[in-house]
Amino acid sequence: MRTSFLVLGFITLLLVGLGVWFAKRPLDVINAATPGWYSEKTLALSYGPDARHKLDIYRPTVQNQPAPVVVFFYGGSWNRGERADYAFVGEALAARGMVAVLVDYRVYPQVRYPAFLDDVAMAVAWSFKEINRYGGDPQNIFVMGHSAGAYNAAMLALDERWLAKQGVSAKNLRGLIGLAGPYDFIPIVNPEVRPVFFFPNTPAESQPINHVSANAPPSLLIAPQEDQLVNPQRNTGGLAKRLREAGVKVTETYYKSTSHASLVGTIAWPLRGLAPVLDDLSSFVAATKKTNTSAKAIEPKKP
């Protein structure tokens, strides 16, 4: 009897420990449960001079022609984040026939607005120049992000200054995919975000919603219906409304069964039952990409 209680106690402690670990590092669990046989990976490529100027590429294992490219930026209130934590995004996109580019960028306190926009613009410019060597089609590049990363993607797509500084036209982007993005957040409430944007002197030009024009690319904007961190009606709904008024094609979707954090997690197969986010973005890319392009896929050079 005593042995049974000891075993039961050990199992209980193990489950509690796993629960605590999952609560602290849920992305580790998601990545561990994500199969990696659908992609070929090229990791830690430099796109700029800083240690944070690194990106990872996930391409389909079976590929007969250049694939559409999705450049992904993670969230983290511009205070934290690592591209390796989002390997599941790269694996999922590659499994759906896309080339995924996962980007690290500098965060606070190393930099403040707008330095990280220069970083992500540099990564996209690198993609336009180099992605054909990794099976990607430079005529079909989409920018995508979650939370703060969706802000980064939206600023590149809507404010032409950032890519222009890198010698690239924002008009060459095929589409914008935003997940739970903050696009209109003055005055800033989040204490982590305030110093990033010089609160209370946050410049109005820092807000994506203030850069909407008819030149914006087709957009897919997704958010949880009840988001406790980024107000979906003001941010996703407000940007979608402004884009429509400018004559831009936009798809606006909300899901009841996801939170701010779990929305991006539904891209991984263990959580796909919560919301069809991967299906949504796959359909959007397929419907929006150019067809019959002349881009030629080139194998990466051997080291």
d(CA 273, CA 112): 37
d(CA 115, CA 179): 22
d(CA 11, CA 19): 12
**Element (DSSP H or E) covering residue 7:** helix 2-24
3-class SS of residue 171: helix
CA atoms within 13 A on the CB side of 196: 23
d(CA 70, CA 177): 9
Q: How many CB atoms lie within 10 A of CB 234?
A: 14
**Predicted TM-score of the model (pTM):** 0.88
> Which one-letter amino acid corresponds to residue 46?
S
Query: Do residues 176 and 149 touch, judged by C-beta distance below 8 A?
Result: no
Which tokens sit at 280?
């949504």
* Closest to 260 (Cα-Cα) out of 238, 234, 284, 231: 231
Strand 136-146, strand 99-103: pairing? unpaired
Contacts of 153 (CB under 8 A, 6+ apart): 71, 73, 120, 143, 144, 145, 176, 177, 178, 181
Query: Do residues 177 and 232 touch, judged by C-beta distance below 8 A?
Result: no
DSSP 232: T
Query: Do residues 208 and 184 touch, judged by C-beta distance below 8 A?
Result: yes
Query: Do residues 290 and 174 touch, judged by C-beta distance below 8 A?
Result: yes
Q: How many CB atoms lie within 10 A of CB 144?
A: 26
Per-residue model confidence as pLDDT tens for the chain (303 residues): 445 434 334 333 333 343 433 444 667 777 776 665 578 999 999 999 999 999 999 999 988 899 999 999 999 999 999 999 999 999 999 999 999 999 999 999 999 999 999 999 999 999 999 999 999 999 999 999 999 999 999 999 999 999 999 999 999 999 999 999 999 999 999 999 999 999 999 999 999 999 999 999 999 999 999 999 999 999 999 999 999 999 999 999 999 999 999 999 999 988 999 999 999 999 999 999 998 665 454 343 333
3-class SS of residue 23: helix
3-class SS of residue 93: helix
